[in-house]
Amino acid sequence: MSYEIIGITVLWTFLFGYLIVASIDFGAGFFSYYSVITGQKNRVHHIIQRYLSPVWEVTNVFLIFFVVGLVGFFPISAYYYGTALLVPGSLATVLLGLRGAYYAYNTYGSSREDNKVYMAIYGATGLLIPAALSTVLAISEGGIIREERGHVVLDWASFFASPYTWSVIVLALVSVLYISAMFLTYYAKKAGDRVAFEVLRGYALLWSAPTIAASVLAFFQINRHNPEHFQNMLSMAWMFIASFLCFLLAVYFVWKRIRLGWSFLLVMLQFGFAWYGYGRSHLPYILYKQVSIYEGFTNETMAVALITAFIAGLFILIPSLVLLMRLFLFDAKYIRGGSPKKG
């Protein structure tokens, strides 16, 4: 396996980690606000806050690794994406800052009373951040970034007029809510909170159909936007079929209220098959057809150093998250409203 393939696989894995962890976080934020404005705060808000409190500070580590690694492995990508993504990238950064401010206020502030304005900003960022970040996938399909007089320009008319752009944004929004609701359903069951469980189970079932519908829509919009990529996806159709089967089984378990831990594992497999199938079919391009993983790749010495560092980072980050979950999220006393165990 070449250094280029190893490098992009490691980066894609970090981005997949961010997809799952951040989706739970963003969706939980929206559901938290939604519970306030619908009068269901006392039913689900405490479960959501119990999940968010230990993990909000580590959510964006995956994204930071990916961005740093993308520029490190493929320096030419900074030339094309850096300027073109200035607006959506800046928007996402501002929204992440606002979200972090809410977390700091809610966790460490002297007043612990929920302010509806802060909650509205918090809930809105849960949808606006994935919408902003998802535009990168639309742009990566080509036809939107071009060079003019030695400068990279993002064609905003093509960007907003493309049905594929909007299909990706819609898919990002419904997927965030679906992933988050499926996890929180399992978490509420683990906590023994039947009231919260039933509400969150309803959210999970509600957003399951829109998620698969948006996935199918985005899949066929690729055919219109980038037929070559669509043909590559068809050549590995088994990955997307496996993703759909995992979806059916995950929803069945939630509907029947059984094996909810397996249900969320199937959700991860559902998005894992689709994510890696999409990424594999996208190769060798990072940006169709302007940036290839084989062009502008870093030198061999830097590649070895980066691969070593990033794989080591995965081996540190993943066990750390598992330990965090064992000590806080899935500690029997903590999830029922007490303090986590010590020692």
Q: Count the neighbouring beta carbons within 10 Å of the beta carbon of residue 66.
A: 20
Residue 164 near residue 203 (C-beta atoms within 8 A): no
- Torsion angle of C-alpha atoms 271, 275, 277, 282, degrees rounded to 10: 160
Taking all residues of the chain, what is their mean pLDDT, rounded to a whole number?
Answer: 84
So what's the pLDDT on residue 97? 82
Amino acid at 268: M
So what's the pLDDT on residue 1? 73
- When mean pLDDT is compared across 39-48, 106-115, 248-257, the lowest value belongs to 106-115
Average pLDDT of 278-299?
A: 88
So what's the pLDDT on residue 50? 66
Checking if the pLDDT of 150 tops 50, the result is yes
CB neighbour burial string for 204-229, b if at least 16 within 10 angstroms, e if fewer = bbebbebbbebbebbbebbeebbeeb
Checking if the pLDDT of 297 tops 50, the result is yes
Q: Residue 187, CB half-sphere, CA atoms under 13 Å: how many?
A: 28
pLDDT in tens, 109-145: 545 455 677 778 888 888 898 998 898 888 899 888 8
Residue 292 near residue 284 (C-beta atoms within 8 A): yes
Helical ranges in the chain per DSSP H:
3-37, 41-55, 61-73, 75-84, 86-108, 116-140, 156-161, 163-191, 194-225, 227-235, 237-256, 260-282, 300-324, 332-335
Average pLDDT of 235-247?
A: 95
Per-residue pLDDT band for 277 (boundaries 50, 70, 90) equals: very high
**Residue extents of the structural domains in the chain:** 3-335
pLDDT in tens, 45-91: 677 766 665 566 677 788 888 888 888 888 888 888 877 777 777 88
Q: Structure tokens of 141?
A: 């399909």
pLDDT in tens, 215-235: 999 998 999 999 999 999 999
Average pLDDT of 35-40?
A: 76
3-state class (DSSP) for residue 286:
strand
